[in-house]
Amino acid sequence: MTPWRGAPHIAVISSPRSERGQTMVEFSMLVPVFLVLLLGMLEFGIAFNHQLTLGYATREGARIGADLVNGGGVLGCGTGQSPNAANVDQVVIEAVDRVLTSAGSPIPLSQVTRIRIFQADQSGGDTLGKDNDWAYVASAYTLPDGTKVNFSPGTQTWGACNRSNVVGHTYASSVDSIGVSISYTYQMNTPLSSALRLIGGAGASSLALTDVTVMQLNPTSVTN
């Protein structure tokens, strides 16, 4: 009688072809993820450069607005008061436009959806509802002094003749503050949106960028 030796041992031999197939499947799953990471870093770098330019433009505009205050002279909107008030915002926009169109600027002006000059509250916030809108125009807009810019005025609710650099005019413990903001639609420069769709993302092709600079109005030698 033959003794029982247990179940026979079956050896499983892995085929090199099946291993290659598994590797290809894993690789195809990882490629979209790596592609998104690579394109994301590249796109972020480009978008960051655009954001820096917007920041430079708002700082330059706010600096000019803070320096000009109400346009000089005695504060007020009556005859003989704030004699150059009508030119203040025009000079601010000219400064912003000059930065956006300077050599090396990556900003397409047609993607600037809005420039706002506004009165900031004591915390630097945009809560007072006093602002002046400027929008991009395809044909250059001519300012009263003959200067051509790429933005034209819209709704105006905060005249420069109401801006004071004297403590107590609007706020008990501080002077007025001016804010300049730019709203911009950034169009992606890489195929990132397509790569995002490969992994189930929304695949948006643009980003809404905004930059804001707020500065207190500078004191002048004129007592308002």
Distance CA 26, CA 7 (A): 36
CA angle 20, 22, 27 (to 5 degrees): 95
**29-71 pLDDT, tens digit each:** 666 778 778 888 888 999 999 999 999 999 999 999 999 999 9
Given a contact cutoff of 8 angstroms between Cβ atoms, the answer to whether 76 and 148 are in contact is: no
Give the pLDDT confidence score for residue 221 in this predicted structure.
44
Average pLDDT value over all residues in the chain: 86
Name the helix (H) or strand (E) containing 133.
strand 131-142
Distance CA 78, CA 31 (A): 68
How confident is the model over 145-166, as a mean pLDDT? 92
Q: Which residues are 210's β-sheet partners?
A: 183
Provide the pLDDT confidence category of residue 219 given band limits of 50, 70 and 90: low
Query: Which contacts (CB < 8 Å, 24+ apart) does range 46-53 have?
Result: 46/106, 46/189, 46/190, 47/186, 47/207, 47/209, 49/106, 50/106, 50/107, 50/184, 50/186, 50/209, 51/209, 51/211, 53/99, 53/100, 53/105, 53/106, 53/107
Give the pLDDT confidence score for residue 147 in this predicted structure.
85
How confident is the model over 179-191, as a mean pLDDT? 93
**78-101 pLDDT, tens digit each:** 998 999 999 999 999 999 999 999
Structure tokens at 206: 């643009």
